[in-house]
Amino acid sequence: MPTSPLYALVDCNNFYASCERLFRPDLKDRPIVVLSNNDGCIVARSAEAKKLNIKMAVPLHQVQEIIDRENIAVFSSNYALYGDISARVMTILEQEAPSIEVYSIDEAFLDLSGLSTHHSLTDYGIRIRRRVQQDSGIQVCVGIAPTKTLAKLANHGAKQYPATQGVVDLSDRQRQRRLLKLLPVREVWGVGRRIAQRLQLQGINTALELADCDPAWIRNHYSVTLERTVRELNGLSCLEFDQQPPPRQQILCSRSFSKRITRYQDMHSAITQYCARAAEKLREQDGLARLVSVFIRTNPHSQSDPFYSNNACRLLPVPSADSRLLCQTALQLLKTLWKPDYRYMKAGIVLSDLYQPGCFQPTLFDHTESVSAKRLMQTMDLINNSGRGQLRFAGEMLGSGWQMQRNHLSPAYTTRWDQLPIARI
């Protein structure tokens, strides 16, 4: 007998702020905010900071006054820390569920289809919640439902209403409809801001009103994607459970500079660094890239500076994951793009047209990547991942002053021997 689908969405509460607090007992009740790359905007807030009405994506300088007044702890993004804690949470979830789909750094779907119905699903959720909190130190909320879209909403409800104690079981149709009635349509997974506005203009304000729409009408007036959402809200599972996230179709590495770049050598070093990082990511997913694109641009919002933005790309004869070849290509592209006398704000590199090894058919005369190049790259990655040293291209060191600003970075508590948390004895 085929079992009906059942999913749980496990989502960490205020994940980045919780990671920062884990090793800082002195921050127990203090509000915390975490900043984006270059310490620009606020990208994460603790519950206390949310209560102080600090909004997401606000530039730091706009809230500096309230930060000082309320003694808010400020952190730069510490992705080494968040990545390590995330891996721990996911490992624990893997032990608790038949299979899991890691959806983002702080949330995962569990496939509970066929889970014995003798047990209360709420009890199961509570057990997961307690174990993750105990073992990793991170609090999570659990939403359980027959579709992914409903599981997302259940999780939202678990976060919103403290009475639920962090677990909401929406397997019952009546409970589904009761919660849907309470939630505005923009909280539904897959409904973006613009679609929500359009729906509201047509009098569809709550998630329940969307669920009660005719799917055919939605398909004709909106899209197949939204039609699927409507069906999912009615308990019909349409979104597959992907245990393995599909390999990325393109790899992007781009950042804004902490200071405007005006010298070529600084841009040369930035592009080399971004390209080396992109190539590293490419090898992490065991891919090969054939198309290399580079873009550079100045600040489009500046009143005083002239605007320039351009990009260029080149198709390699055969796909490659060799940092040397990719960097060299990127730098040749940069030379065609570079114009002096502009104040550049951002640059980036995109590797696309990706292949898995052995999937590309070269012509008889094409050179395929040599074994020694592959070994060299493997060795380089091994050294760079060991945490004991870094192998870099000389071109990355040419310029300076534009690198990422991280003035409020916490220690790599879990990934560096010299930065472990301290306990007094």
Contacting positions for another protein (CB under 8 A): 25-28, 87-89, 91-92, 95, 134-137, 317, 320, 322, 324-325, 328, 367-371, 373, 394, 397, 413-414, 417, 420-425
Distance CA 309, CA 299 (A): 9
Contact 8, 128 (CB under 8 A): yes
Q: Which two tokens stand for residue 144?
A: 């359980």
Q: How far is the CB of 376 from another protein (least distance, A)?
A: 10
Distance CA 215, CA 228 (A): 8
Distance CA 170, CA 190 (A): 19
Q: How far is the CB of 95 from another protein (least distance, A)?
A: 8
Between 1 and 371, whose beta carbon lies closer to another protein? 371
* Contacts of 407 by beta carbon, 8 Å cutoff, 6+ apart: 39, 76
Distance CA 137, CA 12 (A): 11
Q: How far is the CB of 136 from another protein (least distance, A)?
A: 7
Q: How far is the CB of 103 from another protein (least distance, A)?
A: 19
Tracing tokens 């290399």 back to the chain, one arrives at 292
Distance CA 147, CA 231 (A): 9
Between 81 and 226, whose beta carbon lies closer to another protein? 81
Closest CA to 394 of 324, 306, 326: 324
Q: DSSP character for 216?
A: H
Between 57 and 423, whose beta carbon lies closer to another protein? 423
Q: How far is the CB of 252 from another protein (least distance, A)?
A: 24
Torsion over CA: 81, 86, 89, 91 (sign) = negative
Between 88 and 343, whose beta carbon lies closer to another protein? 88
Between 43 and 316, whose beta carbon lies closer to another protein? 316
Q: How far is the CB of 92 from another protein (least distance, A)?
A: 5
Tracing tokens 């310490």 back to the chain, one arrives at 39
Q: How far is the CB of 320 from another protein (least distance, A)?
A: 8
Between 3 and 370, whose beta carbon lies closer to another protein? 370
Q: How far is the CB of 22 from another protein (least distance, A)?
A: 9
Between 155 and 320, whose beta carbon lies closer to another protein? 320
Q: How far is the CB of 159 from another protein (least distance, A)?
A: 23
Q: How far is the CB of 359 from another protein (least distance, A)?
A: 18
What type of residue is 7? Y
Distance CA 378, CA 30 (A): 44
Between 96 and 381, whose beta carbon lies closer to another protein? 96
Q: Strand pairing partners for 298?
A: 344
DSSP, residue by residue, 151-209: HHHHHHHHHH-GGGTTEEE--SHHHHHHHHHHSBGGGSTT--HHHHHHHHHTT--BHHH
What is each CA distance from 188 to 163, 168, 198, in whole angstroms?
A: 21, 16, 14
Between 51 and 392, whose beta carbon lies closer to another protein? 392
- Chain-centroid distance of CA 223 in Å reads 25
* Contacts of 222 by beta carbon, 8 Å cutoff, 6+ apart: 195, 198
Between 28 and 69, whose beta carbon lies closer to another protein? 28
Distance CA 299, CA 258 (A): 12
